[in-house]
Amino acid sequence: MRFVKQRLKYSLIIIINLIALNVFAQKESYIQSLDHQNHWVDSVFKKLSRKKKIAQLFFVRAHTNLGQAYEDSVAKVIADEQVGGLVFFQGGPVRQANLINRYQKLAQVPLLIAMDGEWGIGMRLDSTISYPYQMTLGAIQDNSLIYKMGQQVAYDFKRLGMQMNFGPDMDVNNNPNNPVINYRSFGDNKYNVAAKGIAYFKGMQDEGLLTTAKHFPGHGDTNVDSHLDLPLLPFTRQRLDSLEEYPFREAINAGISGVMVAHMDIPALDTTKNLPSTLSRPIVTGILKDSLRFKGLVVSDAMEMKAVLKYFPDGKADVKAFLAGNDIIELSADSKRAIKKIRKAIRKGKIPIEEFNARVKKVLAAKYWAGLNNYQETNLTHLTEDLNRPAANNLVQQLSDAAVTLVKGNATALQMIPLLKTAIVSVGVTQTTVFQRDLAKWYTYNTLFTVGKNAPQAELKTLLAALKGYDQVYVSINDTRLRPASKLDYSSSVKQFISDIAAHNNTVISVFANAYTIADLPGIEKCGALIACYQMTDDLQRSAVKVITRQLNPTGRLPVSINKDYLTGMRGSL
């Protein structure tokens, strides 16, 4: 009898667990949640004055690295204006969690906390994990790894007390000289960009994080940074529909919760001179909401950017962004002034009151979906350890291994012969690299050399002569800059040195830099083998060593076309 009771007990536990798992798996998406009435949303909405309803549409800037006076000024804005949310920028995780707890206590309706986390919270915060840049991810063939990354990123956001990621970037970067998107994009193939972006946001959303595809309708083919001026997108409507908009259309069909609109002048979509797309009702409402039937959160790009303020100063931009159809107005230059001006526009009947009410409820519904109806403050215990957990670090290495791309060469060209006299050269650095230290373990007779990005010509000439005495030479090209641009900041002498060393028939080169930099190094193609590693991280350096020592078969494919010899989708194999 006792045995039967125990079996019954365990069976009930299993059934309850399965039901719980099934309920979690079947949790409706944010987009699905908008299809029915929400009593919490209605109750909160009814209690808000019109001024506070408008304030729900505003997200203001927050930092933890700018000092107490700045933190206090943000607290005052929250207390006085009761804005809808915050966007956190640079700082540290424990400081930020503390500040989120402080700020939430000042809000009558819980704040929706967002951050740009295209490669995770490490994009903004110290002491945290950074996942590979999106262009690095663009080389990966197994999109399930990118889904897993989305899950891990969602964990980090939620652990810190945040509910929304302004990512992924779903621009098709088909301009190698793009100064603002570039390595932030999955690449120049619209199908790859769409597939990678969907895998990433689904991983995040399935773990309860709101996401935002940016920058609609596509910022990838511009040569102006919209932080500094208004870019012109001069293409036809047909081109924009078929190329730039494609990943966004696919993301909308796949159920993304948010879309961020770019600041760009797009005459084919709106002929108004010098009008940023963020402020255009034909683009925001006519195309994104009506034609593409996007029901989720429409977020403006930062309203403090020069692309907007240059032509629409003194709060005019905020009103136009509101009238255009944006649900969230991000980083207004003066939110108090903007709320006042929008209140006046509503009073004058410049927008149907039903449309305004629906937008406010949409923001409140996002808060409900993210769990803010049962808000709990962030627990600081073991926070740093939780954000640097082994599972996340292991995934970064997996992603790095899957991204490394052999663009030229084969197993023979990699010359893994342990007893030969071997030189391991790192260019662009002043100290020995992980690549050098790890690779040196495989060669009995090795010498390590470092070459600074502005090394004197005499030094380079001497080193070049010395390298002729080695049987095999491994070179790493490293970009140590925070933003790895399409061209290296090396002197012309150092670039010539790379060309000269590549001409030796026993040279293998690994490029820990933006893939486009390969085109900026004429002569590099003469090397025996060339490995694209996309950015300078310890994990990618370890991955390159695994390829050279034949522990890893490189499966990455180029996410962008570098030149006529190295095209999108290319890869070699061992």
Q: Is the pLDDT of residue 24 over 70?
A: no
Nearest to 136 by CA among 403, 401, 390, 393: 403
Both structure tokens of 337: 């002034």
Domain at 53-391: CATH architecture: Alpha-Beta Barrel (3.20)
Paired sense of beta strands 529-532 and 405-408, if any: antiparallel
Q: Which segments of the chain belong to CATH 3.20.20.300?
A: 53-391
Q: How far is CA 13 from the centre of its chain?
A: 41
Domain 404-548 has CATH 3.40.50.1700: yes
Order across the sheet with 85-88: list the strands: 210-211, 164-165, 112-115, 85-88, 58-62, 329-330
| Cβ–Cβ under 8 Å, residues 477 and 514 | no
| Per-residue model confidence as pLDDT tens digits over 341-378 | 999 999 999 999 999 999 999 999 999 999 999 999 99
Q: Give CA–CA dist 518/521, Å, rounded.
A: 5
| Per-residue model confidence as pLDDT tens digits over 468-484 | 999 999 999 999 998 99
| Per-residue model confidence as pLDDT tens digits over 256-269 | 999 999 999 999 99
Q: What is the pTM of this model?
A: 0.94
| Per-residue model confidence as pLDDT tens digits over 170-227 | 999 999 999 999 999 999 999 999 999 999 999 999 999 999 999 999 999 998 888 9
pLDDT at 504: 87
Q: Which segments of the chain belong to CATH 3.40.50.1700?
A: 404-548
